[in-house]
């Protein structure tokens, strides 16, 4: 047998210190050293600092409240603007906006434009910036999908990773993640995926693309974004752009054109904005009053204490997601960026209450799950006072299978031993694996769909099964032919 040599690692980019490849963009109405608005990684020139002009200009415009009429200068008071569509190479720039008519020039000749403090308060713009306008919206199907059927739909649509071209170990990656569903609904983002306002519109295929598993992980943690950039012929193409230093990914994929994306450009733009806002933290926490704009409201000055409240909302982990799965061992997760599944546990029939286990990924061990205990009268009557229950099981503490048994039982608990805890955990895990079979069921469904697409005839109820896999829903009919409302 002829054995192949070990794979050589990808070529490393020319030596460059990470610190020297960042560019700072300052607010001209504030004094140094507390005037840095954004600090962005600049990997657009091999081995040295370089950043696409439009990338930087749009990033600054986003945090300034969707202002696409700004410009950059090298000096605070300079009237000489940086040439558009150039590659920025200096370490520091200033982002300017035109003064409004009501600006008091006797106070200052520089406009103290307001900034939006975080992604949660950022309103989606009515119109995308010019550099994004060439991206045409992709027609999306009118039906909507659950997380599991979305994965199947995206795999059959894209067939291979949109970045690497790989077909193995690929996963459906949300652009606007499920953890931002509240922002998604508040900004009516479902309008960009279909004509209807279905409740699960965040799971539209227009909001997801297929990525190789390792790239999906990096995408979830905002190590790169997909943005349009101009090529040597003047056309614009969607490319991968790194937001943090990753040598191998840079050598393989930085500024590499993506395979055709069948997603809505509005979701790409929302993802870009969500990745930019954490860079605003230093500006908000500099212990200087700032002029802040919340949503579409009128701007107002905020104290450093008030700014800390807003900065805390977006000062998250690298995933910027409060619901990011932890300790997941699922080899083929279908959701990212805080994608989660919700479960409800019914308690004993003698007690009419529920214990909610929210935001738990299928693969999360019971020791990492949390429950919320109700405080209704029936619960207090059979389990003691509300305070006693809170002391027994705190919503902020990890919950074991033994805790769940104690919380749902009206009988005196048996003595707790390490053996009993282990036994309960094993029983709980065995029951869940038997009940759900998520991974196995998904693989079986995908294999069956592959056979159908390859020409396998469908018999009996398999036609209904195929339509349900595509996201269609069916209502049962009674004998009279009317919709069954029961």
So what's the pLDDT on residue 406? 46
Start-end of H helices in 167-264: 181-186, 213-220, 247-253
| CA–CA distance, 40 with 283 (Å, rounded to integer) | 13
So what's the pLDDT on residue 41? 96
So what's the pLDDT on residue 473? 64
The more confident residue out of 190 and 366 is 190
Answer for the pair 130, 184: CB distance below 8 angstroms, yes or no: no
The more confident residue out of 463 and 91 is 91
Answer for the pair 170, 446: CB distance below 8 angstroms, yes or no: no
Q: Is the pLDDT of residue 68 over 90?
A: yes
Give pLDDT tens digits for 160-176. 999 999 999 999 999 99
Give pLDDT tens digits for 224-275. 999 999 988 888 899 999 999 999 999 999 999 999 998 999 999 999 999 9
Report the percent of the chain where pLDDT is more than 70.
Answer: 64
Spatial CA neighbour of 226 closest among 209, 212, 213: 209
Q: Give domain limits for the chain.
A: 341-416, 439-469
The predicted model gives 183-206 an average pLDDT of: 77
Lowest-pLDDT range, 31-40, 192-201, 316-325, 460-469?
316-325
The predicted model gives 274-289 an average pLDDT of: 94
Q: Is the pLDDT of residue 467 over 80?
A: no
Give pLDDT tens digits for 116-129. 999 999 999 999 99
Local structure of residue 483 (DSSP, 8 states): B
Local structure of residue 477 (DSSP, 8 states): B
The predicted model gives 197-201 an average pLDDT of: 53
Give pLDDT tens digits for 350-386. 333 333 333 333 334 443 444 343 444 433 333 344 4
So what's the pLDDT on residue 441? 62
So what's the pLDDT on residue 235? 86
The model's confidence at residue 448, banded by pLDDT at 50, 70 and 90, is confident
Start-end of H helices in 191-317: 213-220, 247-253, 265-276, 281-284, 304-314
Q: Which two tokens stand for residue 33?
A: 């050293």
Highest average pLDDT, of 25-29, 321-325, 453-457, 469-473, comes from 25-29
Strand partners, 39: 24
Q: Is the pLDDT of residue 65 over 90?
A: yes
The model's confidence at residue 96, banded by pLDDT at 50, 70 and 90, is very high
Give pLDDT tens digits for 43-56. 999 889 999 999 99
| CA–CA distance, 97 with 89 (Å, rounded to integer) | 21
Highest average pLDDT, of 135-139, 210-214, 298-302, 364-368, comes from 210-214
So what's the pLDDT on residue 465? 78
So what's the pLDDT on residue 336? 45
| CA–CA distance, 456 with 443 (Å, rounded to integer) | 17
**Of how many residues is the chain composed?**
486
Answer for the pair 97, 130: CB distance below 8 angstroms, yes or no: no
Q: Are strands 22-26 and 92-96 parallel, antiparallel or unpaired?
A: parallel
């Amino acid at each position: 047998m002829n054995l192949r040599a070990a794979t050589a690692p990808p070529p490393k980019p020319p030596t460059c210190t990470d610190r020297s490849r960042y560019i700072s963009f300052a607010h001209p109405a504030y004094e140094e050293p507390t005037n840095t608005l954004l600090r962005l990684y600049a990997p657009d020139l091999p081995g040295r600092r370089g950043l696409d002009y439009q990338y930087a200009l749009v990033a600054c415009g986003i945090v300034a409240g969707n202002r696409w009429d700004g410009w950059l200068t090298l000096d605070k008071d300079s009237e000489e603007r940086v040439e558009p569509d150039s590659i920025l190479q200096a370490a520091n720039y200033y982002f300017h906006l035109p003064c409004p008519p009501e600006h008091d020039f006797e106070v200052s000749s520089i406009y103290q434009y307001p900034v939006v403090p975080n992604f949660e308060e950022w309103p989606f713009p009515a119109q995308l910036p010019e550099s994004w306008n060439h991206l045409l919206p992709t027609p999306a199907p009118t039906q909507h999908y659950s997380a599991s059927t979305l994965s199947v739909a995206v795999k059959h649509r894209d067939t291979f990773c949109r970045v690497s071209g790989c077909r193995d170990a690929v996963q459906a990656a949300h652009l606007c993640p499920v953890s931002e569903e509240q922002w998604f609904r508040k900004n009516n983002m479902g309008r960009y995926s279909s004509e209807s306002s279905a409740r699960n519109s965040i799971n539209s295929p227009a909001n997801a693309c297929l990525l190789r598993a390792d790239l999906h992980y990096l995408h979830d943690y905002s190590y790169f974004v997909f943005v349009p950039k101009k090529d040597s012929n003047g056309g614009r193409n969607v490319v991968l752009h790194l937001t943090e230093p990753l040598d191998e990914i840079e050598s393989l994929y930085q500024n590499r054109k993506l395979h055709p994306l069948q997603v809505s450009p509005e979701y790409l733009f929302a993802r870009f904005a969500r990745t930019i806002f954490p860079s605003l933290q230093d500006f908000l926490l500099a212990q200087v009053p700032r002029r802040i704009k919340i949503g579409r409201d009128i701007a107002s000055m905020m104290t450093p204490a008030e700014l800390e409240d807003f900065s805390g909302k977006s000062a998250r982990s690298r995933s910027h997601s409060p619901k990011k799965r932890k300790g997941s061992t699922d080899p083929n997760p279908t959701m990212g960026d805080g994608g989660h599944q919700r479960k409800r546990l019914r308690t004993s029939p003698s007690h009419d209450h529920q214990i909610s286990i929210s935001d738990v990924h299928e693969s999360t061990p019971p020791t990492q799950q949390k429950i919320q205990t109700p405080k209704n009268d029936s619960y207090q009557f059979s389990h003691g006072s509300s305070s006693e229950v809170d002391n027994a099981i705190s919503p902020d503490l990890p919950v074991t299978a033994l805790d769940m048994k104690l919380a749902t039982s009206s009988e005196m608990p048996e003595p707790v031993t390490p053996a009993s805890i282990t036994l309960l955990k094993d029983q709980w895990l065995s029951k869940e694996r038997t009940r759900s079979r998520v991974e196995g069921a998904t693989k079986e469904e995908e294999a069956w769909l592959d056979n159908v697409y390859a020409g396998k005839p469908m018999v009996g109820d398999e036609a209904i099964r195929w339509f349900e896999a595509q996201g269609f829903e069916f209502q049962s009919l009674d004998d009279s032919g009317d919709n069954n409302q029961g």
